[in-house]
Amino acid sequence: MQFFTDNILLIFLLPLLTAIIAFTAHFFKFAISQKTVSVISTVTSIIGAIYAAALYYTYNNCNEITEFSVGWLSIGDLTISAGLLLDNISATFLLILMIVNIIIQIYSSQYFNNQKNYNLYFGYLNLLITSITALSLSSNLPQSYVFLELTGVLCYILTNFNYEKSQISESAKKSFIINRIGDMLLLSGIIVFIYFVLTYPISNNSELLSYKELAETAADFYVYLSDINFYIACILLFSGAIVKSAQFPFHIWLTDSINGPIPVSALIQSVATVSAGIILTIRLLPLFELSEPVLKTIIYIGLFTSVICAFFASGQYDIKKMLAYSTSSQLGIVFPAIALLNIKNTLFYMSVNSFAKVSLFLIAGILISFIPKSSSNMLDMPVSKHQYPFLGFCYLLTVFSLSGLFFNGFFIGEAILGQLLSQNKKIAASFYFLYLLLTSFYLFKSYFIIFKKNKKHFAEKNKISSCLIIPIILSIVFIFYPVFDYKTIILDFSKNYEIFKLFDIIPVSVPISVIAVILAYFAASNKISAPLWFKKLSLNGGYISNLYDIFIDYIVEFFRNFTNIIDYFFNFTAYIVKFFSWCVSVSQNGNIQTYISYAIFSSAVLLVLYLLLIAGIGGI
Amino acid sequence: MFDLLSLKILIFTPVLAAIIIASPLFGTNFIYIRRFAKTCGTIHFLYSLLFIVFYNFGVESFYDEIMIFGSGWLEKLGINAAFGLDGLTVLLAPLTSFIFLISLIVSKTMIRTKHKMYYSLMFILLSTVLGVFCSKDMFLFLIFWEAELIPLYFLISEWGSCNCKHSAMKYLLYIFCGSIFLSVAMIGLFFYGYLSNGELSASIDFLRVSMTDGIFPVFLKKLLFFGFFTGFAVKLPIIPFHIWFTDSQSDSATPISMVLSAIIINTGAYGIIRFNLDLFPELFIKYSPFIMIFAVINIIWASLAAFKQNDIKKTIAYYSISQMGLFLLGLSSLNKIGLDGAIFIMLSHSFISAGLFLITGLIYQVAKTKTLQELSGLGEFMPILMLFAYVINFAAVAVPLTIAFPGQLLVFLGAFSSDCSIEPLAKICSFIAILIMLLAASYIFKLFHKIFCTSQFYSTKKYHDVSGHRLMCIAVICFCIILFGCFPDSLMSIYNNFTESLLEILRV
């Protein structure tokens, strides 16, 4: 185990090296074949996973922290360092990341088969993995910012991978720009933070910036700033996480980014955004937990997002869009879990959510590939449960877990709910119930629609490559295999039901899901239906995306006219100069008659003036 | 070794090269001319790198003076041909040489007429720019500053497109108007220094001393400060004096555009540091709130104006202007962080705008247009160029681990922590600047997507991707962008002493 801790840099270098190999293979086509690249990539991902597992078992049950850093950028007397922080949080993140990485690598090797940019894709993918690894291991706030933004950039590049299609490139651009908003807000938060560290009387050490010392710094920060300023600074820092984790009102970038390739969407929605937003919030928790309003804001932003996005998801017929909204919605539940100061729950929930998302996306990818025209509408999917019993079964299992009816999903849902209730957050708990209802509803609705028994168009049964099946099995295994020691979770859970009694909770949350399932069954077969305006509102995502467009268009149009002023002013000056030069040019045309006439005219004028002058003097 | 590293050689060898090119030695054989020019450029760049290698990290080094028959140049008037490098110019000189080398290399396919004149003018321009950076004497600075106009005027007007003659005239008039203020201020400074001290000298170090202990009337000082600032503001360019820049950018040939935005703008920035900040520190402190407001207006205006442009080159020119606004913001914050950031922005902007203009030039070569509406879907034909465009565009919007990020971070932080006399102004300016940089992301990527993505551009013609010397140039620029982005301290440690000395002047 000592080996893994000592050579921690290897965990970056492996994907980075793979990326370099893949880029080399892309640009110098003679060097390495596609197959070799994918094999190298998969093997390094497996090594990475072994590595991460070793780190996980070293750090999981102890509070040991390993940290080292080197200087990167000097800011006045302060030095921003680049370092590594290894504790149980980052080890857990790494494990989730690396397992998802294996799944995505295997799936991509088949999904992108025989495409011309195959190697390029693997290059970008491994760079993204490097970036997320660095993000989860980063030891201070500025470094987190660096890799947070790098992750965003690489997600954008991968989303824009098939840039020839204008729809894809437009939505990739939009998602990138919305991501930038978050980055800029986070940057301003970081600037406030560094400013504090710089002006702080005893701040001669750069250690103050690191997460390890954050608790102490945060306490001083809290004393130093007034309440409202502290609140603003915290919200600025948190807004970075809001945007990255696609919370309301910035969730629309996630629905834009799903136009990219399926494995990329799976990776973005299961690990990239999750780890980006959540690890930042977890790391900054010592700061946030000082102020009650900040924690409340975090809880309610999360819960509101989870409900509103679940509502938007329930109107979708596009499976990718539905999954994107569901990601936002489920991440919304993570934030209350963090704000309730229960990191174990958060990590556990995240693992459940990540693997479930991966499995749903991968199944959706296979289903979409069956549709002849490139669409991802659920109603167009010519499949049935009997044709693909395996896919249907996997889909169902995942859906069960996500809607809190089954095993891991159930435990974690109950744990969060129990904690909400134990802290007497009644409104929050009712939000949670609403979320549960909607989530179960749309997930089961999608299941019933896709795997309907009697469909009109049965396509011929396609053969599914084993490279596509293995990742799905892997993700299903990890949904149900308790990788993250959930004994503590179950302990928490049992403690909760000691307080609230088993029958107080289970009759509330499980029946809600069951009712939702029944509703979903009828909704899928069009036996019940919501009002049309309601459906439309949900289908269009509350018209938030349109609002963005109108707003941006309006602003740009306004300033477009406004900035012309200077041009007009300078052109006006130029016209005046031109006018005078024209006057001069008229008078000097080189024509002798003109000059003579000028001379006669001006001498006449002079004469008149002279006479007038004499007359004037005479008059006086 | 020190004798070998002579600033005279650094500054005047390009003139020698220009004379050789202009001489009948090569006849009309433009291939030889080109090769000779590239060789000279490479040697000059390597030679200028030696100055960094042997830089002793003192505040001042490599002092050099031209002696004519044992006495200084115009010694009776107190004007000496003295050159020197400090922490800032030791970086700017190789940077200048580097950008010139790149633009000489890409000239191969972009300049097709009058090779002899073109290459000799380029070398004369290089020499004058280096002269501006290295002068230790005020009037020598002015001479090089004015001499810069002549080659650049011909370079814009002879090899440009559209109405380049008009733009070149605009350039000449604007800069000349600025120079009038500059020269009047210099003469005023010179004679008042003489009146108060009884010694004729135009040496910058001498003037700095005479400014501090002299009995300068405050009103005259203000006038001189204003004169200097106007002169440099036109070159920087500060809005509303920016029209020459966007026009001449859009009409000149690609190598000239690169030089204009990467180097010529830097001379204005350098001038503000060298004269306004160095000679009038107390006035700079007094006026820093106004300069800060100017800077923010610059950033906002340029970012908004960039949106409406149809011409790619004009958009990038506005991007340059907004970056110079950031430079000014960092400078006006008047603390270590802000000054570090401002100088870093100067350096990073050179690489990025050179890269952006190079990409535009390469697109212009294949698509024969620089109008945004007529371009789309080039990524299909030019994937390699697109990859490099990714890197440079990310650098332009200051993504971390590219060269622009440290500069912007330092500038924002410096402005935020500046002890400006009007209390919340600095903080508000800093926040506005951060938010406005969002617009940069949106117009730069609007451009990028319109050019490279989407395929509504169906053409029977097959476009060739970049290769050969063009690929090499753009790869080198991208390499520098990433290298200095990953190791920003390598640049900052070189000019660290320079900012320290500036701060000492400011503290007095």
User: Which tens digit of pLDDT belongs to each residue from B369-399?
Assistant: 888 888 877 887 888 888 899 999 999 998 9
Distance, in Å, from the CA atom of A480 to the CA atom of A397, rounded to the nearest integer, reads 9
User: What residues contact residue B401 under an 8 Å CB cut-off, 6+ apart?
Assistant: A146, A150, B482, B485, B486
Phi, psi of A262 (to 5 degrees): -60, -50
B227 or A256: which carries more pLDDT confidence?
A: B227
Q: Check whether residue A465 and residue A581 sit in a common domain.
A: no
In this prediction, residue B326 carries a pLDDT of 92
Give which of A79, A86, A80 is closest to A64, Cα–Cα.
Answer: A86
Name the minimum distance, in Å, from the CA of B239 to any CA of chain A.
9
Residue A499 has pLDDT above 50, yes or no: no
- Count the Cβ atoms, other than its own, within 10 Å of residue B199: 10
AA identity, residue A133: T
Interchain CB contact of B141 with A (< 8 Å): no
Q: Do the beta carbons of residue A350 and residue A96 sit within 8 Å?
A: yes
User: What residues contact residue A182 under an 8 Å CB cut-off, 6+ apart?
Assistant: A239, A240, A242, A243, A244, A250
Residue A520 inside a domain? The answer is: yes
CB–CB contact A160 B453 (8 Å)? yes
Express each pLDDT in A30-41 by its tens digit: 667 788 888 888
Return residues 97-136 of B near A (CB < 8 Å).
Answer: none
Interchain CB contact of B409 with A (< 8 Å): yes
CB–CB contact B454 A184 (8 Å)? no
Q: Which residues of A164-181 are buried (b: 16+ CB within 10 A; e: fewer)?
A: eeeebbbbbbbbbbbbbb
Q: Predicted confidence band at A592 (pLDDT cuts at 50, 70, 90)?
A: confident
Distance, in Å, from the CA atom of A298 to the CA atom of A286, rounded to the nearest integer, reads 14
- Count the Cβ atoms, other than its own, within 10 Å of residue B15: 16
Interchain CB contact of A169 with B (< 8 Å): yes
Phi, psi of B455 (to 5 degrees): -125, 65
Q: Predicted confidence band at B129 (pLDDT cuts at 50, 70, 90)?
A: very high
Name the minimum distance, in Å, from the CA of B303 to any CA of chain A.
10
Q: Do the beta carbons of residue B408 and residue B327 sit within 8 Å?
A: no
Express each pLDDT in A177-219 by its tens digit: 888 888 889 999 988 888 888 777 665 555 667 787 787 778 8
Which tokens sit at B205? 């170090």
Give mean pLDDT, residues B82-100.
Answer: 90
* Closest alpha carbon within chain B to A160: B453
3-state secondary structure of A163: coil
Express each pLDDT in A378-421 by its tens digit: 777 766 666 777 888 888 888 888 887 766 677 777 777 777 77
Rg (CA), chain B: 22
Return residues 174-233 of A near B (CB < 8 Å).
Answer: 176-177, 180-181, 184, 187-188, 191-192, 194-195, 198-199
Tell me which DSSP letter residue A514 carries.
H
Question: Which residue from A75, A76, A169 is facing B449, i.e. has the nearest CB?
Answer: A169
Q: Check whether residue A350 and residue A458 sit in a common domain.
A: yes
Q: Predicted confidence band at A505 (pLDDT cuts at 50, 70, 90)?
A: low
Residue A454 inside a domain? The answer is: yes
Distance, in Å, from the CA atom of B253 to the CA atom of B163, rounded to the nearest integer, reads 12
Pairing of strands B67-68, A78-86: unpaired
B508 or B487: which carries more pLDDT confidence?
A: B487
Q: Check whether residue A484 and residue A578 sit in a common domain.
A: no
Neighbour-count burial of B276, counting CB atoms closer than 10 A to its CB (0-12 exposed, 13-18 middle, 19+ buried) = buried
Least confident among A238-242, A489-493, A496-500, B459-463: A496-500
Give mean pLDDT, residues A358-377.
Answer: 81
Q: How many CA atoms lie less than 13 Å away from B102 in the CB half-sphere? A: 31
CB–CB contact B449 A149 (8 Å)? no
Q: Check whether residue A447 and residue A591 sit in a common domain.
A: no
AA identity, residue B30: F
Distance, in Å, from the CA atom of A313 to the CA atom of A296, rounded to the nearest integer, reads 25
Express each pLDDT in A517-557 by its tens digit: 888 888 877 777 777 777 777 777 778 878 888 887 787 77
- The per-residue pLDDT of chain B, averaged, comes to 86
* B contact test, residue of A559, A560, A572 with most B CBs within 10 A: A559
- Mutual angle of helices B468-486 and B488-507, in 10-degree steps: 60
Helix residue ranges, H only, B198-335: 204-213, 218-235, 243-251, 254-259, 265-271, 278-279, 281-308, 312-332
Which tokens sit at A204? 């001669």
Residue A464 has pLDDT above 60, yes or no: yes
Give which of B356, B355, B368, B375 is closest to B450, Cα–Cα.
Answer: B375
Phi, psi of B418 (to 5 degrees): -75, 145
Domain C-terminal end among A479, A508, A529 = A529
**Domain spans in chain B, listed from the N-terminal domain onward:** 282-508
Helix residue ranges, H only, A60-117: 88-111
Which tokens sit at A100? 């998802």
Least confident among A248-257, B198-207, B450-459: B450-459
Distance, in Å, from the CA atom of A600 to the CA atom of A612, rounded to the nearest integer, reads 18
Q: Check whether residue A403 and residue A359 sit in a common domain.
A: yes
Q: Predicted confidence band at A503 (pLDDT cuts at 50, 70, 90)?
A: very low
Give mean pLDDT, residues B83-112.
Answer: 90
Q: Check whether residue A597 and residue A465 sit in a common domain.
A: no
* Closest alpha carbon within chain B to A195: B417
In this prediction, residue B474 carries a pLDDT of 92
In this prediction, residue A202 carries a pLDDT of 62
Name the minimum distance, in Å, from the CA of A243 to any CA of chain B.
14
How far, in Å, are A225, A256, B64 from residue A554 at the CA level? 37, 21, 58
Interchain CB contact of B322 with A (< 8 Å): no
Q: Which residues of B touch A174 (CB under 8 A)?
A: none
Percent of chain A's residues with pLDDT above 70: 87
Q: Check whether residue A585 and residue A444 sit in a common domain.
A: no
How far, in Å, are A99, A255, A560, B28 from residue A483 at the CA level? 11, 30, 56, 77
User: What residues contact residue A460 under an 8 Å CB cut-off, 6+ apart?
Assistant: none
Q: Do the beta carbons of residue A113 and residue A149 sit within 8 Å?
A: no
Express each pLDDT in A334-348 by its tens digit: 888 888 877 777 888
Q: Predicted confidence band at A502 (pLDDT cuts at 50, 70, 90)?
A: very low
AA identity, residue A534: F
* Closest alpha carbon within chain B to A171: B449
Domain C-terminal end among A476, A511, A529 = A529
In this prediction, residue B1 carries a pLDDT of 45
Express each pLDDT in B392-428 by its tens digit: 999 999 898 899 999 999 999 999 888 877 778 888 8
B93 or B197: which carries more pLDDT confidence?
A: B93
Interchain CB contact of B497 with A (< 8 Å): no
Least confident among A32-41, A53-62, A285-294, B127-136: A53-62
* Tally of domains within chain A: 2
Residue A444 inside a domain? The answer is: yes
3-state secondary structure of B136: coil
Q: What ipTM was assigned to the predicted interfaces of this complex?
A: 0.90
AA identity, residue B474: I
Percent of chain B's residues with pLDDT above 70: 95
Give which of B147, B172, B165 is closest to B18, Cα–Cα.
Answer: B147
Percent of chain B's residues with pLDDT above 90: 34
Q: Check whether residue A510 and residue A609 sit in a common domain.
A: no
Distance, in Å, from the CA atom of B87 to the CA atom of A146, rounded to the nearest integer, reads 28
Q: Which residues pair with B85 in a beta bridge?
A: B61
Domain C-terminal end among A529, A553, A581 = A529
Q: Check whether residue A392 and residue A490 sit in a common domain.
A: yes
Distance, in Å, from the CA atom of B486 to the CA atom of B213, rounded to the nearest integer, reads 44
CB–CB contact A566 B243 (8 Å)? yes
In this prediction, residue A348 carries a pLDDT of 80
CB–CB contact A164 B453 (8 Å)? yes
Residue A410 inside a domain? The answer is: yes
Residue B212 has pLDDT above 80, yes or no: no
Q: Check whether residue A507 and residue A599 sit in a common domain.
A: no
Residue A460 has pLDDT above 70, yes or no: no
* Full residue range of the structural domain in which residue A364 is found: 345-529
Give which of B348, B156, B174 is closest to B257, Cα–Cα.
Answer: B156
Interchain CB contact of B490 with A (< 8 Å): no
Express each pLDDT in A561-588 by its tens digit: 776 776 777 778 778 888 888 887 777 7
Q: Do the beta carbons of residue B224 and residue B189 sit within 8 Å?
A: yes
Residue B132 has pLDDT above 90, yes or no: yes
